[in-house]
Structure 1
Amino acid sequence: MNDRTTGATAKGLTDKDSTAERQPGPPEWLALALDIEPLDVRPALATGEDPLGLIMEAADGIEFGGALVIDAPFNPSPLRRILAARGFSSYGRNLGPGHWRVFFVLNGGQDWERDADVEVGPEGAMTWREDDGLHIDVRKLKPPQPMLAVLRLLDAVAATETVVVHHERVPQFLFPELAERGWRVERMAEEFANVRLWLMREG
């Protein structure tokens, strides 16, 4: 990697600005990246080291359809633009102060930068808000954690709230629990690795 490339990528990890249009919620390909161990560059940055070489080396080893996950202290938007030029789409989640997790997938850069502010529940489920309601992603959680996370959220939200569940499969065992609590499935959409259910209270 020449000096010019190194300089460009180093700027990518220190510049937070982005001109990309924000789109709420996770892309469909995110489920493919949830099991990947993140490459955490926060310790290196905290000591003044430049982790760009390590990141680019990791990116060079990704085959088409593969994914890379980076933990950073902020949203590295210019880095995301650089990897977009190499064909990576990315999705960022703000997990808390000084902690961004950015998922990259090598798919031609079809959806190169999306973000969402999320909260992580006790079971590991992630929640965020969109125009159509409060979303909860329980994919990749081991049973019975998906059901527990959904029920915990339903017990905590307002009666007028719409809750959108992202699940790996149709959660048949959840339906009796919903009925017992006075909730119904308003509609359902089945996609690859993402079954979405819009839940509303009865009445």
Structure 2
Amino acid sequence: MNDLELDVRPILRHGGEPFGAIMGAVGRLAKGQRLKLYATFKPEPLFHVMASQGFASEASALEDGEWMVIFTPTDRDHVDAVEPNVDAPETWPDPAHYLDCTELDPPEPMVRILARLETMVDGEVLFALLGREPIFLFPELQARGHAWVGDLDEDGQAYRLMIRAGGRS
């Protein structure tokens, strides 16, 4: 299987933020596929983010201080292990808020979900429909103390996510 290559050097040279492009590329990876990233600097903060999502990183210096990093999946199924913070979702109230993020590119779904959660009262439930499993959202939800459950719909085309604001019961 070929690596998926992403060159964010033009984005960085023009003062842009490549995180959305990187997350979009991660979302397009086939199972077991590696991401080969080119950057104008060694993207050390990204190493931690990617490691938390089950990717090992190998960085190599290129000419002129630029870098190539290969992110290799180690265990992409580990995300399910991050989710034991839900005791009884069947006892949650009906969702008070709904977001359809199926047409949005990363990181916009995560941005919108986190923004909505900031406005919610503890215990309220948000239902979100996404175009893919939001692997980078789960650690953010956990860090903020929100509870969640999620799965793919019957035909595997959308990811359904329910989030209870304010943490565990």
Normalising by the smaller structure, the TM-score range is 0.3 to 0.5
- Which has the larger Rg? 1
Give the TM-score normalised by structure 2: 0.46
